[in-house]
Amino acid sequence: MPELPEVETTRRGVAPHVDGREIKAMLVREPRLRWPIPDDLPAMIEGQRITAVHRRAKYLLFHTAPGYVLLHLGMSGSLRLVDPAEPAAFHDHFDIVLSGDKILRYNDPRRFGCCLWQPAGEAHPLLVGLGPEPLSADFDGDLLYRRSRGRRGPVKSFLMDQKIVVGVGNIYANEALFLAGIRPDRAAGRISRARYQVLAERVKQVLTSAIEQGGTTLRDFVGGDGKPGYFAQQLFAYGREGLPCKQCGKKMQESRISQRTTVYCVACQR
């Protein structure tokens, strides 16, 4: 599933090519995504100019004067810039035709993504109640410590709670906890402020590095330029169950936490 670095990589890839461009048309081939594409969306955005492309959590926001298109890549979605002459593939569900002879094309084999509309001046319901961005100054160890008090659930589930902090998905939660030396199954409320400070720093480190590498390609992900990410080559935990720990050499262990694959080192994480 595309996580925050993959979505940010996509934003950085497409933004320079769509900022300031007029939307000439929207061609919808398959409206049945996680939520149906609104029937009137093509008419609402036709003739509008894209003024900015922002990311909030794992959502992309394409701003125009009357409102914004809210896009989520789901589990297998990708957004690419293509030439008008390039034929659509089977899972290319919609095109946004831009001035300057470019098309923004959305591909999603599993159709778990979404493309919705929100009028200007209002927050979309999907964005209400989200926690701070992990790369912002609002996210730090003090915030994690305060919000973790009294929580008995595992720290990994706590870190992946979008109301606590947005965008830390399964891959990067595994990595940040490994680098912070914290066992993912430890009770969130039993971790000290000092250790949460380290964890917050490692979250920022892991996400920043992944963005610089263009994300992590595990199955379907490619960036806005159609190229895969390379952060998978640097993973310390995720996907390395049964392999030697890169730090101590002991066999990496696997368990399930909140129905998600969790990999950790019994020697390096406590």
Query: Catalytic residue positions?
Result: 2-3, 58, 260
CB-based contact 165:138 (threshold 8 Å): no
Helix (H) or strand (E) holding 93: strand 92-98
Give the count of beta carbons closer than 10 Å to the beta carbon of residue 50.
24
Q: Is the dihedral of CA 180, 243, 213, 86 positive or negative?
A: negative
204-212-164 Cα angle (round to 5): 30
Q: Quick one: angle between helices 170-180 and 193-212, nearest 10? A: 130
> What is the DSSP secondary-structure string of 96-140?
EEETTTEEEEEE-SS---EEEEEETTS--GGGTT----TTSTT-S
Q: Is 91 annotated as a binding residue?
A: yes
Q: Is 190 annotated as a binding residue?
A: no
Q: Measured between alpha carbons, how far is 259 from 199 in angstroms, rounded to an integer?
A: 22
**Residues tagged in the binding site annotation for DNA:** 91, 110, 151
Binding site per annotation, positions: 91, 110, 151
